[in-house]
Amino acid sequence: MRLARKFTLALVLLAIAVMAGLQYFQVRRELERSAMDMQHDHRLPGHTLAGSIGKAWQLAGEREALTLLQQANRFQEQVHLRWVWLDGGPGTPDLTGFPPRLRTSLLQGNDGSMVDPAVDPGLLHSYTPVLIGNRLGAIEITESLGAQRQYVNTVVLGTFAATAAMALGFIVAAMAMGRRLVGEPVEQLVSLAHRIGQGDLTARVSLPQRRGDELTTLAGAMNQMGEQLEETRSRLATEVAARLSAVDHLRHADRLTTVGKLASGVAHELGTPLNVVMGRAKMISSGEAEGEEVGECAQIISQQAQHMTAIIRQLLDFARRRKPHRAPEDVQDLVERSLSLLRSMAARNSVTLETDIPTGLMVQVDAGQVQQVLTNLVMNGVQAMKQPGTVRVRAEHARSTPPPDVGGPEGDYVRVDVEDQGQGIPEDVLPHVFEPFFTTKDVGEGTGLGLSVSYGLMQEHGGWIAVRSEPGRGSCFSIYLPRGEDTCQAAS
């Protein structure tokens, strides 16, 4: 609506300026016409009296001529007549304020006039030259400009009233037209923009096509934009859902791949308790165990079965797909649960798993996802070692600045380091280790998804994974996670 008001105000000011200019020139023209009429009115009696006074002067003398002028003066209420000499002799009035051009014109025998502003509201003096013998005189006709001023005031007042009435009418008409032609369409377009900005892409605005102006074109363009945005949002939602589904499948596939690698270690873990169960069962069935030994064997069989059940449940929990759920987790417990599935595999590769985790170190994470990341990193470390050695897992508080792909200011994090003593990563390979499907392992030994999936999981937690490596001396992968409440803070 403010646009319509500004548009209306601009038109009104323009119209007032045009009307004021026209009225100004009209008043000025009227003033000039009034002045010419007054001069014409003075010239007519001046010439009439000039002939009579000239003859009377020649026939009866100066007294009779001036008497005739005085008698004529009695019949004039608005003007005053008198005789003046123009040759500078006796009877010549003071010509100090006389315009030189007027005096020259009168001396040449031409009529002339002047305005004397010394007396308010001003006097108009008109002169009609009369030659008396060898002397040049003139009939001076003087008239007050009061009537002219009153006329001017009347014209100006009337003009002002007419201009004000026209301006008022123009304002009302312009506001009505501005409201209809500009204000209402703009309000509809602004409302449409607000609704689209708030996410309502189904909003549309309808302006009559018969208007055929720029606002109608803009409305059509905004409606088309809303349709395209709605289509794009729908397409993006579908693509995002498909991408999230694909990412979820890839993560689960990577988890199942890890489960497959853990299976042999789990089988070895189950071998010992199974042998114990079988041996004790044979002792009971063969009668070798008698009395209290039977109960002891049954108890041992129960313990070993529970141990095997715990191993299998842990493996199934690791492989099971579930929704992300963040909760306060102790880093020490997370690391121990992750390494418990890997110790058998590490032992078969002559690799020792060591930890250095301070107690009470807390993070707010999804335990399953972080466990998947730790398992991937530790397993990579074990596979990178071609000779006996140690994979160390350490954790500590750290203050660091996130990389550009994560963003954010410097802050406090929990850093978990997974360090191996393997062959290391070449410098030309190091920038690509987190790329999807990138792997340096032989065909069939790796999918190239483990590190990529792990990095994505850490990004979703507001963290990241950093790597440093030196060929021939091993690698260190560092997981950065936002800090959670530690035990001391919880106690306070």
- Mean pLDDT, contiguous 10-residue spans, the chain (492 residues): 65 78 79 78 81 82 81 76 76 67 82 81 84 83 80 78 78 73 74 79 72 73 81 84 73 63 60 72 75 77 73 60 76 89 83 91 89 88 89 93 86 93 86 71 53 83 91 91 56 30
Which pLDDT score, from 0 to 100, does residue 476 have? 94
CATH number of the domain where residue 149 is located: 3.30.450
Cβ atoms within 10 A of the Cβ of 259, count? Answer: 17
Query: What pLDDT is recorded for position 279?
Result: 76
Q: Which amino acid is at 317?
A: D
Does residue 431 sit within a domain?
Answer: yes
Domain annotation covers residue 40: yes
Contact call for residues 414 and 361 (beta carbons, < 8 A): yes
Q: Is 75 helix (H, G, I), strand (E, B) or coil?
A: coil
Residue 298 lies in a domain: no
The structure tokens 């998947």 sit at 372
Q: Hunting for tokens 């209306």 — which residue is that?
A: 8
Q: Tell which residue, 240, 232, 226, 237, has the closest CA to residue 198.
A: 226
- The pLDDT score that the predictor gives to residue 479 is 94
Residue finishing a domain among 153, 174, 191: 153
Question: Is 491 within the bounds of a domain?
Answer: yes
- Other Cβ atoms less than 10 A from the Cβ of 352: the count is 12
C-alpha 399/C-alpha 377 separation (Å) is: 22
Beta pairing partners, 477 = 418, 467
Q: How many domains does the chain have?
A: 2
SS (H, E, C) 374-438: HHHHHHHHHHHCCCCEEEEEEEEEEEECCCCCCCCCCEEEEEEEEECCCCCCCCCCHHHCCCCCC
Domain boundary among 114, 131, 153: 153
Rg (alpha carbons) of the chain, rounded to whole number? 56
Q: Could you tell me if residue 193 is inside a domain?
A: no
Q: Which of residues 153, 178, 199 is at a domain's end?
A: 153
User: Would residue 306 count as lying in a domain?
Assistant: no
Is-contact 138 81, C-beta < 8 A? no
Q: What distance lies between CA 372 and its chain's CA centroid?
A: 43
| Residue 8 · residue 174 · CB < 8 Å | yes
- The verdict on residue 425 lying in a domain is yes
Report the C-alpha gap between 115 and 39 in whole angstroms. Answer: 11
Cross-strand pairs, 124: 115, 143
Share of the chain above pLDDT 70, in %: 80
| Residue-wise pLDDT tens digits, 37-52 | 777 878 888 888 888 8
Structure tokens at 256: 């199942």
- Give how far Cα 303 sits from Cα of 267, 269, 273, 306, Å: 18, 14, 9, 5
pLDDT at residue 394, rounded to an integer: 94
In a domain, 15, yes or no: yes
**CATH code of the domain in which 463 resides:** 3.30.565.10
Per-residue tokens: 295: 């109960």
Domain that holds residue 34: 2-153
